Chains A and B, each alone.
Chain A
Amino acid sequence: MALKIVKGSIDRMFDKNLQDLVRGIRNHKEDEAKYISTCIDEIKQELKQDNIAVKANAVCKLTYLQMLGYDVSWAAFNIVEVMSSSKFTYKRIGYLAASQCFHEGTDVIMLTTNQIRKDLSSPNQYDTGVALTGLSCFVTPDLARDLANDIMTLMSHTKPYIRKKAVLIMYKVFLKYPESLRPAFPRLKEKLEDPDPVKYLGLLAMSKILKTHPKSHKCNIAKVSKQRDYASMQESLRRCDFFAVKYLGLLAMSKILKTHPKSVQSHKDLILQCLDDKDESIRLRALDLLYGMVSKKNLMEIVKKLMLHVDKAEGTTYRDELLTKIIDICSQSNFQYITNFEWYISILVELTRLEGTRHGHLIASQMLDVAIRVKAIRGFAVAQMATLLDNAHLLTGNTQRNGICEVLYAAAWICGEFSEHLEDPMQTLEAMLRPKVATLPGHIQAVYVQNAAKLFATVLQKHEGETESQAAQETSQLLIDRLPLFVQSANLEVQERASCILQLVKYIQKLQQKNVEVAEEVTALFAGELNPVAPKAQKKVPIPEGLDLDAWINEPPSESESEDEKPKAVFAKEEPKHSRSRHTEVDEKELARRREVRKQEQANNPFYIKASPSSQKVYDAPGVEHIPVVQIDLSVPLKVPGMPMSDQYLKLEEERRQKEKAERKKEKKKKREKRGKERKADSGPESEEDIAPAHQVDIVTEEMPENALPSDDDDKDPNDPHKALDIDLDNLLSGFSSRPLADSEKLPVRTHRPELLKSPAEDRDSESVPQETKKKSGKEKKEKKKDKEKDRKRSKEEKKKKKKHKVEEELLESQPEEAVQSEETKEAAAPPTSTSAEASDLDFWLSSAPVPPAAQEVTAPSSAAAAVDTSSATAPESEPDEPKDTEPEDTKSSKHKKKKQKKEKEEKEKKKKKRHHHHHQHHGDAGGEDSVQNGTVEEEEPLPPMSNYSLLAENSYIKMMKEDADQVYDIQGNHQDESKVVVSVIFENKSDSFLKSMEFNVLDSLNSKLQRPEGAGAHDSLTVPFQLPPGVSNEARFVFSVQSIVMPQKLKGTLTFIVKSDESSTHEKLDFKLHFTCTSYLITTPCYSDAYAKLLESGDLKGSSLRLEGINMPFHHLLARICFHHHFSVVERIDSCASMYSRSIQGHHVCLLVKTSDQTVSIDAKCDEPSLLGNVLDEIKQTFSKC
């Protein structure tokens, strides 16, 4: 004990622990950065030491520094080391650090897979817990794929502590690896039956998933979630803050609003009051709510209140928020609620008076939007904009008002584009060419210059034909005088436009002096109407045939392009909000006619109460009489003394509504016919639709490209992380009409477990649940086996007896036989036969852990397929010395083979077809297993176990086994003609010494390169991330990038390592050759027969063929071998003929037609890459020549 204390204090003398670090940082407040950098140097030293305790301490300190903002990713590898410590204390530190700083871009994550798997299956629940917690933070798609099955196993762990975490992490796994959702879903659903805590979490995960699946399992979820909500609400309310209530009330209202808008609208005043709350959160919530509750009736009132708040608001953030909300409220649903666009324009103009807002461009885009789309308002808008331009100094005077000058962009454009509405274009032109304009931002100046030219054209046209073209001459002179200012502009856009226009005007002036009429030509420069384009219109333009949008037109330019010089696309982003206008289009004539009719009516009607003269007194202010109510082409002064403009419109509008109401009442009295399309719903006197817009506005509809199709998937957000989870789950659970789990959907199961040194006791402990089920199924198997054998005997006898009445009897016979088959396959391996088998299916996948040898022996003869399946898991350790090609025939099964061979092949066609049908649906990606199952389904023929590990190299110290590259995959988004291949290598220590510092290196070829971490040289070796105690094996993965896959490759490599025994340590070396076969670039891909037929018909594929003589094996063995070793899947099989398919990682299709007769197998093959095909066929030939 004393020694330990001494030791501890010595440790402390040398190393700072976390507390010391924190204390040190606090004591060095002045030179914190310097102090920390010395600490980091110390940490680097500590990380170099071998002592794991020192390393863990260093990593712990790094975690703290990470919080302070220091990048610690350089220590990622050390973190992995600490994670793999056998001590919980250090492991926990490692996982914590990893969860803080690992992310998808961290390259060492790839190295953690085995460690995490080991921890997940640790007998210590806290090791498992820590691994789950860590994994939940840094799970990547690769990790998710590799570990999904292990995690699913944990969902039935004995400890609720682990179950809880496993259930929760499944959600993350689904997000990263959506393919796992379907196979895992039933299991997740089971968890809803789990006792309390786990159930809730299962629910949680489920409800998150079901966000995308609103249909399925509603009732189940609803029931439980109600319980949960209620419980948590009660709990929460007890502690709830008083201040929260108001906020939550508003929040609740916004939810109610969606379903019961009326009931919320009655609280309008209350909500408006909340705008005065001192709490910004509450104010913003209230604003949000107002957005949802405006109607035609109350829009003006609400906006008026908001405008008051804008004036009062302190702090630009909140004021800007108000501004955007006002604009949002008004413009929502394509200006649905605006009945008076003059009012809206005035509101926009008033908003320009806001100081220092950031949202000038928002106002500007609204102005543009309204002016372009509401034709009837253009005259008014132009007048307003002209005034705005005239008073531009008010907006630009203060440099702080910068944001708002964007409005001038809109103003200048509107005045220019619709200059025919201008009363005095000359004056506006003058305003636009003032020297002060040169202080505006470049993109605005550019618009000014361009639109000055438009105005110039208008002025010319106006004065054309006048005998004295004095005015026109003056205008030209004005431009010639003023434009040089812009020609000198530093902004390219401005300069270019100005000099163009200047020369044009000079030329025109010359013509004018010769009295040539030029107006028409000049106007023609700007002729034509601009129409708004519907949002998404661009997307819907069909791509012409033969156009590849992804291809480079020119080589990509260098990154260093100067950003300053690019003209800003200021309004490019702004698009009209909705594609369809609610307003019916009525042309101007029709409008005028209706107005006329109405006036007539009013004039002739003695009961009609005209606008009371008394109320008009209110508007006695000068100029007010001219404010248009019905007609809109009269000009209106921008500001009326004493009253903000918009208020006037508000009053006028109210009056107008009164009038209309009265009118309508009168109409009703007379029982006249309803008129006008726009009065469709005349239900109640106060109903929304009753309020007709002041003038029928002709909202220009947006243009769409021809032959554009309306598509509803536009609304889906491509960035939604849940999008990937939009997987059909309903079918999984409801009966026969459904789409059952296909083999390809099963979770990938590791076919090899390097950490097999665990004692069986440990095994049982950590995986007792699946084990239990397995034992049970083992018993069942025994019984079934007996039954089956009886069956078989019986059938044999029957056959002998009744050879003559074969047809009749076979019908009877085939039924029990079939039943046996299905049961057998069920126990053997996930059978693709029916949905009912799914439960056992899952069990199988879950229990892929090594099967106790006893159970295996019992089942081996009857269902060798099981042995095969598990053999991929057990083979390497049970028969590690045998390379894949020397698999022994299962002797036990040979008896059965004979029996089965006797079985008549010409069994009912119908039956076979049925089987084939199953067959098509289920070719899987798990190559070998799949085909093996196919075999058993067909003919109950046991297959010899196959291993896909082959010996790579071996010496007296170490043995390297290479997995037969079934881990090949193509990383998406990778460079087009480069693929990545992952090679798993198992290292087994055969000596009695400790092997360490293993370094793996490969001599790169032009075509294939070992992926090394960034910064490493092209010839550097990779450190194998583990050490090997005597007798231990472990697996490491190496990534290679491969460019061309049409040729097989051989790479020379070396493994160096240190052999450390008690006395000595020596440096050793082992050379090996990595063989990349073409087969290893093929991915088992299921293919439906119709697609297959199409592929063959397409004629793009080139053929080749192969003949194998002396093949003495059943046809289904042959197929299974091709499937397993060469990654093919069976598309269709009829008797002794089968079509097979596979795809390369670079997308080449490989199709095989395999026929057999009398020990001769002919393979006709087609592929779009002849050399790839040739090599694959050679490899197939080799496979069979070895048998």
Chain B
Amino acid sequence: MIKAILIFNNHGKPRLIRFYQYFAEDMQQQIIRETFHLVSKRDDNVCNFLEGGSLIGGSDYKLIYRHYATLYFVFCVDSSESELGILDLIQVFVETLDKCFENVCELDLIFHMDKVHYILQEVVMGGMVLETNMNEIVAQVELQNRMEKSEVSDQ
């Protein structure tokens, strides 16, 4: 199970948070800070796996992350998830974002947090991987956007 998905920038500012287990808001912020602290001090040329986040999960959990330009994509997962699988999933997610936003950059995530959530919802559901095929994800997202547009023009 994926316990949480966090996206924050190089300064630890959250850009998207998605917890699949309930934490109160202040706890969520603490988790973000801790995770940022753990992840940001690591070089880019070390591995993408990290154990020992004390706030979320404990020993059974690990952080799997990727660092793209100014953003960190961090997935907190338990031992039932495959490390490579999640690493791959992050890549799929980012590529999907890239396709949906056309050359995605941090600003897209800042101003369209809701849309990023909708895309993520097509990839991960309730902490479980739903779809890894990028074309399928993009198709579903676009269909839903089209529906939204048709509703706007109905008004």
With A164-B130, A172-B126 known to touch, is A69 a contact of B28 (CB < 8 Å)? yes
Residue of B nearest to A232 (CB): B85
| Contact among A88, A161, A168 for B148, CB-based, below 8 A | A88
Chain A residues within an 8 Å CB radius of B133: 197
Once A4-B155, A246-B47 are accepted as A-B contacts, the answer to whether A136 and B125 lie under 8 Å apart by CB is yes
Question: Using a CB-CB cutoff of 8 Å, which residues 137-155 of chain B contact chain A?
Answer: 140, 143-144, 147-148, 151-152, 155
Residue from A23, A69, A232, A282 with most neighbouring chain B CB atoms (10 Å): A69
In the complex, the answer to whether A204 meets B83 with C-beta atoms within 8 Å is no
CB–CB B84/A240 < 8 A: yes
Interface residue SS majority, chain A: helix
Q: Is the CB of B85 within 8 A of A201?
A: no
Tell me the bound Cα distance from A60 to B117 in angstroms.
11
Q: Does A780 contact B (CB under 8 A)?
A: no
Measured CA separation A369–B48 after assembly (Å): 39
User: Please, which residues of chain A bring their CB within 8 A of the CB of B82?
Assistant: 232, 236
The verdict on A67 contacting chain B, using a C-beta distance below 8 Å, is yes
A206 adjacent to chain B (CB < 8 Å): no
Q: Mark B41-67, 1 if CB is under 8 A from A, else 0.
A: 011011111111000000000000000
Check B102 for interface membership: any CB of A closer than 8 A.
no
Measured in the bound complex, the distance between the Cα atoms of B88 and A23 in whole Å is: 33
User: Assuming the A-B contacts A66-B25, A232-B85, A246-B47, are A165 and B130 also in contact, with contact meaning beta carbons closer than 8 angstroms in the complex?
Assistant: yes
Contact string against A for B residues 104-140, beta-carbon threshold 8 Å, 1 for contact and 0 otherwise: 0000001111100110010001111111010010001
Interface assignment of A137: CB less than 8 Å from any CB of chain B: yes
A69:B29 contact, CB within 8 angstroms: yes
Task: Contact check, B118 vs A281: say whether CB atoms are below 8 A apart.
Answer: no
Q: Do the beta carbons of B118 and A96 come within 8 Å of each other?
A: yes
Q: Tell whether A169 is near chain B: CB-to-CB under 8 Å.
A: yes
Q: A244 touching B152 by the CB < 8 A rule?
A: no
Q: Are A284 and B126 in contact (CB under 8 A)?
A: no
Residue of B nearest to A104 (CB): B22
Chain A nearest CB, measured from B40 CB (Å): 13
Closest to B152 in A: A89
Interface contacts (Cβ under 8 Å), in number, total: 148
B9 sits at the interface (CB 8 A) = no
Please report which residues of chain B, range 4-62, place their CB below 8 angstroms from some CB of chain A when the two chains form the complex: 14, 16-18, 20, 22, 24-26, 28-29, 42-43, 45-52
Interface assignment of A19: CB less than 8 Å from any CB of chain B: yes
Q: Is A779 among interface residues, defined by CB-CB distance under 8 A?
A: no
- Closest Cβ of chain A to B9, distance in Å, is 13
Cα of A884 to Cα of B48 in the assembled complex, Å? 65
Is A241's CB under 8 angstroms from B48's CB? yes
Given contacts A68-B14, A244-B47, contact A19 B111 (CB under 8 A): yes
| Cβ–Cβ contact B47 & A281, under 8 A | yes
Whole-angstrom distance between the Cβ of B49 and the nearest chain A Cβ: 5
Residue of B nearest to A235 (CB): B88
Closest to B114 in A: A60
Selected from B16, B22, B49, B125, the residue in CB contact (under 8 A) with A244 is B49
Task: Encode B72-102 as 1/0 by CB contact (under 8 A) with A.
Answer: 0000000010111101100100000000000
Instruction: Indicate the member of B110, B130, B148 with the most A CB atoms within 10 Å.
Output: B130
Judge whether B46 and A278 touch: CB under 8 Å: yes
A413 to B136, CA, bound (A): 67
* Complex CA–CA separation, A89 to B47 (angstroms): 40
Return A1132 CB to nearest CB of chain B, in Å.
44
**Distance of A233 Cα from B20 Cα, bound (Å):** 26
Is A279 positioned at the interface, with any CB of B under 8 Å from its CB? yes
Min CB gap B154→A, angstroms: 9
CB of B91 within 8 A of CB of A67, answer no
A501 at the interface (CB under 8 A from B): no
Q: Is the interface of B mostly helix, strand, loop or mixed?
A: mixed
Of all chain A residues, the one with the shortest Cβ separation from B154 is A87
Across-interface contacts of A232 in B (CB, < 8 A): 82, 84-85, 88
Assess the B151–A93 pair: CB atoms within 8 A.
no
CA–CA, A930 to B43, complex, Å?
65
Given the known interface contacts A68-B14, A237-B84, A251-B83, the answer about A126 and B143 at a Cβ–Cβ threshold of 8 Å is yes
Binary B-proximity of A120-142 (CB < 8 A = 1, otherwise 0) = 00001010001011001101000
Taking a contact as CB atoms under 8 Å apart, the answer to whether A243 and B45 are in contact is yes
Q: Is B47 in contact with A243, judged by CB distance below 8 angstroms? A: yes
Instruction: For residue B108, give the distance in angstroms from its CB to the closest CB of chain A.
Output: 11
Contact check, A168 vs B130: say whether CB atoms are below 8 A apart: yes
A22 at the interface (CB under 8 A from B): yes
Write the chain A residue with the least CB distance to B128: A168
Chain A residues with CB under 8 Å of B50's CB are: 280-281
Nearest A residue (CB) for B27:
A69
- With A88-B144, A235-B88, A284-B51: A69-B130 Cβ-Cβ less than 8 Å: no
Pair A67/B47 contact, Cβ less than 8 Å: no
Residues of B within 8 Å of A246, CB to CB, are 47
- Please report the C-alpha to C-alpha distance between residue A80 and residue B129 in the assembled complex, in whole angstroms: 27
Q: With the chains together, A71 CA to B46 CA distance in Å? A: 36
Q: Say yes or no: B114 contacts A248, CB within 8 Å.
A: no
Q: Is A917 located at the chain interface by the 8 A CB criterion?
A: no
Q: Does A92 contact B (CB under 8 A)?
A: yes
> Which single residue of chain A is at the shortest CB-CB distance from B62?
A281
Q: For A136, give the chain B residue with the smallest CB separation.
A: B126
Q: When chains A and B are docked, how far (Å) is the Cα of A18 from the Cα of B110?
A: 10
Residue A987, interface by CB 8 Å? no
A208 contacts B by Cβ under 8 Å: yes
Task: Collect the chain A residues with CB atoms within 8 Å of residue B121's CB.
Answer: 96, 130, 133
Q: How far is the CB of B17 from chain A (nearest CB, A)?
A: 5
**Assembly CA distance A237 to B83 (angstroms):** 11
Complex Cα spacing A104 to B49, Å: 31
| Contacts known (A197-B131, A232-B82, A241-B87); A169 close to B147, Cβ less than 8 A | no
Chain A residues, Cβ within 8 Å of B114: 18, 60, 63-64, 93, 96
A239 at the interface (CB under 8 A from B): yes
Contact for A165 among B117, B125, B144, CB less than 8 A:
B125
Please indicate the chain B residues that have their CB under 8 angstroms from the CB of A4 in the complex. 155
**A317 to chain B: closest residue by CB:** B52
Q: Which residues of B contact A251 (CB under 8 A)?
A: 83
CA distance A317 to B38 in the complex (A): 12
A1038 CB–B CB distance under 8 Å: no
Nearest B-chain residue to A68, judged by Cβ: B14
- A236-B25 in contact (CB<8A): no
Contact A137 B88 (CB under 8 A): no
Interchain CB contact (< 8 A) of A243 among B48, B117, B130, B144: B48
Q: Give the docked Cα–Cα distance between A4 and B75 (Å).
A: 42
B126 near A204 (CB under 8 angstroms)?
A: no
Decide if A335 is an interface residue (CB 8 Å cutoff). no
For A22, what are the chain B residues with a Cβ–Cβ distance below 8 Å? 110-111, 113
In the complex, the answer to whether A244 meets B130 with C-beta atoms within 8 Å is no
| Minimum Cβ distance to chain A for residue B127 (Å) | 8
**Residues of A contacting B148 in the complex (Cβ-Cβ under 8 angstroms):** 88-89, 92
Q: Is the CB of A71 within 8 A of B25?
A: yes
A171 contacts chain B at the CB level, 8 A cutoff: yes
Closest to A138 in B: B22
Q: How far is the CB of B149 from chain A (nearest CB, A)?
A: 9
Nearest Cβ in chain A — how far from B135, in angstroms?
12
B29 in contact with A211 (CB, 8 Å): no
Q: How far is the CB of A487 from chain B (nearest CB, A)?
A: 41
- CB closest residue in chain B, given A127: B147
Specify the chain A residue showing the minimal Cβ separation from B153: A4
Cβ–Cβ contact A239 & B91, under 8 A: yes
CB distance from B58 to the nearest CB of A (A): 11
A247 within 8 A of B: yes
Contact B126 A168 (CB under 8 A): yes
Encode A66-97 as 1/0 by CB contact (under 8 A) with B.
Answer: 11111100000000000000011100110010
A-B contact list, 11 entries, CB within 8 Å: A26-B110, A71-B24, A88-B148, A100-B18, A126-B144, A126-B147, A130-B121, A165-B125, A171-B128, A205-B128, A251-B83
In addition to A126-B143, A205-B128, A232-B85, 12 A-B residue pairs with Cβ atoms within 8 Å of each other are A18-B114, A71-B24, A136-B126, A137-B20, A137-B126, A197-B133, A233-B84, A236-B82, A244-B84, A247-B47, A247-B49, A285-B51
* Closest 10 A/B residue pairs (Cβ): A136-B126, A103-B22, A279-B46, A236-B84, A69-B29, A247-B47, A243-B47, A89-B148, A236-B88, A133-B121
